[in-house]
Amino acid sequence: HAAHQLNSTHQGILYQLGVAEVLTKRTDEGLRHLRRALLIDATFRLDTDAFEAVRAQPAFQALLKLQQELQQPVVQSSVFLTVKDRTLHAEGIAHDPSTGDFFIGSIRQRKVVRIASNGAVSDLIPAETGGMAAVFGLQYDADHKWVWACSSPIDEMQHNDSTVRSGVYALAASTGKIERTYRLPLAAPQAIFGDLILDKRGNALVSDSRNNIIYRTSGDKPELQQFFSSPDFVNIQGLAYSPDERFLFIADYVKGIFRLEIRTMTATLIATEPEVSLKGTDGLYFYQQSLIAIQNGVSPFRVTRYRLNKTLDTIVSYEVLDRAHPDFGEPTLGVIARGNLYYIANSQWNGYDANHQPK
């Protein structure tokens, strides 16, 4: 109970608490906590002796049925393209609707590659240009014809050293020329920029998952400005605006999804009417009154469409788009283009040894 009070969303704590409550004949509470644990990780064992006394009860049988459903593969997507580079380690993706080109950022190689509409792959920008570190989120800017990239130093990137700094880059989509570079103030702590989005004025918001701060660019000013932070954040990832930019949706890898009302700068957790877990969301996208979440902090991995109410503060229904897809490695970030969701399905985070070198 003490651990649960400290961290009420940790799946391991929820599972162990549920086991303890079942063993001490607090069955209703135990099954409730076990259900919450399974919604995050459907692989927890329910075939142990700890559940012998309740195994025949309808509520426990319902739990077993839920576990089977959560592990069932759902495949609604197919392979669109494959980049045949085993050390690229793709993370983010963007799309240029005018040319049909896609752009993919590389964690390991510290660059952005272009996939032309004919399938040809080439470097948009050479590795490590302009001090670029591991590339996470990407966005295409149709007004300027730029590809925006957020970049941070991590152990998995090649040629890592202590002088590399996090940054946001605006790259010419046609040539790869660095049009703008944004850095943190020198006094700011080192960041890990996980994702970025653009507003209607052409400025970028970028999430720092290490310090739980959202930064903002401002025109051609080279220094990033703090936009929003909250003591309620634990590990922020994907960002998504509502179409009118009245709300900013913020994925917290541990807690779920926050909705920030821009007018009041007030952040609250999204409520859920159906019994679901929003934990482990990496990529986050707003589409037709829905949030599409790429969840790689759950087991099995899944991509889910969560439909919102009119006030955009409560999830009222959901649809699993992909779950336990046979092509999954670790799904990360995506882009909505041409009415479809394109996303990185097998990012290579599990492709490193204990020294952060490729296996």
User: What tens digit of pLDDT does each residue of 271-318 get?
Assistant: 999 999 999 999 999 999 999 999 999 999 999 999 999 999 999 999
Rg for the chain, CA atoms, rounded: 21
Mean pLDDT taken over the chain: 95
Q: What is d(CA 255, CA 162) in angstroms, rounded to the nearest whole number?
A: 31
| 0.85 exceeded by pTM | yes
Q: CA angle, 263 as apex, 259 and 265 as ends, to 5°?
A: 55
- Specify the residue for token string 């099954």: 31
Peptide bond into 153 cis (omega under 30): no
pLDDT value at 163 more than 90: no
pLDDT in tens, 118-147: 889 999 999 999 999 999 999 999 999 999
What whole-number distance in Å separates Cα of residue 137 and Cα of residue 306?
Answer: 22
Q: What are the pLDDT digits (tens) for 7-60?
A: 778 899 999 999 999 999 999 999 999 999 999 999 999 999 999 999 999 999
- On whether the CB atoms of residues 114 and 100 are closer than 8 A, the answer is no
pLDDT digits (tens, 9 = 90+) for 81-104: 999 998 999 999 999 999 999 999
Q: What percent of the chain has pLDDT over 70?
A: 100
* CB distance 104 to 124 below 8 Å: no
What percent of the chain is predicted at pLDDT more than 90? 93
pLDDT at residue number 180: 97
* Confidence category of residue 186, pLDDT binned at 50, 70, 90: confident
Q: What number of other Cβ atoms are within 10 A of residue 313's Cβ?
A: 14
**Between the CA of residue 250 and those of 29, 192, 278, 293, what are the distances in Å?**
30, 16, 11, 11
* Lookup: tokens for 203: 């400025």
What is the signed CA dihedral for 309, 311, 313, 314, rounded to 10 degrees? -20
From residue 51, alpha-carbon distances to 3, 42, 63 in Å are 22, 16, 12
